[in-house]
Amino acid sequence: MSLYAKRGVSAQKEEVHAAIKKLDAGLYANAFCKMYPDYLGGDENYVNISHADGAGTKSILAYLYWKETGDTSVWKGIAQDAVAMNLDDLLCVGIYDDFLFSSTIDRNKSRITGEVLEAVINGTQDFFNTLKFYGINIHFLGGETADVGDVVRTIAVNGTMTSRWEKSKLITNDLIAEGDVIVGFASSGKATYETEYNSGLGSNGLTSARHDVLSKYYATKYPETFESCLNDKVVYIGKNKLTDTIDIDGTNMEVGKLLLSPTRTYAPLMKVLLEQCFEAIHGVIHCSGGGQTKCMKYLPKPLKIVKDNLFDVPPIFKLIQENSGADAREMYQVFNMGHRLEIFTNASAAAEMIEIATAFNIEAKIVGRVESAAKSELILKGSFGEIVY
């Protein structure tokens, strides 16, 4: 059993998928997000979509960093995480403008102050203001903030994003086929619309990242940050403290800040790609929960996916693997490991997409290809050898 499973978490969410298997899949079974007829407007040429996601256990990292340093600015990053995890899922079906967003915040009032709430709520609006500059309009409808200390130990920051969109402008993944190439877009670095280096971690796999990297010091001092029934052998088993530093391209960066890098949104980039290259985009995948295996859930037919030109692994993932001892198979199944967005397209269009990404200072390249197959499988190749899923 993997460390991830021993901590009560599933990268593939098998039980969740089993629970929802009888639900209506919506209009497009292979699309990254579920869509329904235009119940709001009654126009057969439009769809409605409402999507929910959040920052996950990353808020626990923010709690630890805030308690240790007094720095409330990390909570603005948690606000961005909750938005970006919704927004970037919706980008995968082609939607890039005029969203409605409602936040859901559950807190333990005895541990989370009003100052923290203010940082999260104002951070949400600040992020919307930044995106508006790039032509992505998100309308903040408020939401629910509940004091539920009997339910949550610290704080949970989530949200729901809603949109109404033209069917003719949707990406449904139905066009993914043999002969396609896969363009990957880096999750780390510093995009033109980011203010600092992004580690690329995003908001997935944070249970593992936190326990694998951070030392037992945090278990002793902050028992409210983990499930008490967990075996001590999987709780905060790392060697680092949040304020330890590692070298990133000649700059010393705190481990805590690397773990808390706000989830990169690809919205400014995707807006341009969807406006200029829409006809050539056969499918889009957000490599979030499930990491590099995420694409296998959205194939329109049996296909072989080969990724043999992956990105160099960013330092944060190397740090996690060094601390945990996890093998490459588990790392690539839990984390994005270098690119969190991939587009299935043709070879000629790929060059244009890579050039557009470069203008945003986001590294992009062809990471793989699609081949015909009798049954679906994913093959990853790299310095780690070959992994078959």
CA-based R_g, the chain, Å:
20
pLDDT value of residue 20: 65
Helices of type H across 92-182: 114-133
**Per-residue DSSP letter, 292:** G
Give all domains of the chain, ordered by start, each with its CATH number: 3-197+260-388 (3.30.1330.10)
pLDDT value of residue 25: 78
Residue for token pair 């670095």: 189
Residue for token pair 């690809």: 266
Dihedral sign, Cα of residue 15, residue 16, residue 21, residue 22: positive
> Each residue's pLDDT tens digit in the chain (389 positions)?
566 566 666 555 566 557 666 777 799 999 999 999 999 999 999 999 999 999 999 999 999 999 999 999 999 999 999 999 999 999 999 999 999 999 999 999 999 999 999 999 999 999 999 999 999 999 999 999 999 999 999 999 999 999 999 999 999 999 999 999 999 999 999 999 999 999 999 999 999 999 999 999 999 999 999 999 999 999 999 999 999 999 998 999 999 999 999 999 999 999 999 999 999 999 999 999 999 999 999 999 999 999 999 999 999 999 999 999 999 999 999 999 999 999 999 999 999 999 999 999 999 999 999 999 999 999 999 999 999 99
Selection from 54, 153, 142 nearest residue 102 by Cα: 142
Q: Strands, E, within the chain: which ranges?
A: 36-37, 46-54, 99-107, 138-147, 155-166, 181-186, 245-248, 251-254, 283-286, 303-307, 339-345, 364-372, 377-382, 385-388
> What pLDDT digit, counting tens, does each position of 93-147 carry?
999 999 999 999 999 999 999 999 999 999 999 999 999 999 999 999 999 999 9
> pLDDT averaged over the chain?
95
Contact between 309 and 383 (Cβ < 8 Å): no
Instruction: Report in angstroms the alpha-carbon separations of 272 from 156, 181, 268, 275, 366.
Output: 33, 20, 7, 5, 19
> What pLDDT digit, counting tens, does each position of 257-290 carry?
999 999 999 999 999 999 999 999 999 999 999 9
pLDDT value of residue 23: 72
CA–CA dist 349, 207 (Å, integer) = 38
Task: For residue 381, count other CB atoms closer than 10 A to its CB.
Answer: 15
pLDDT value of residue 96: 98
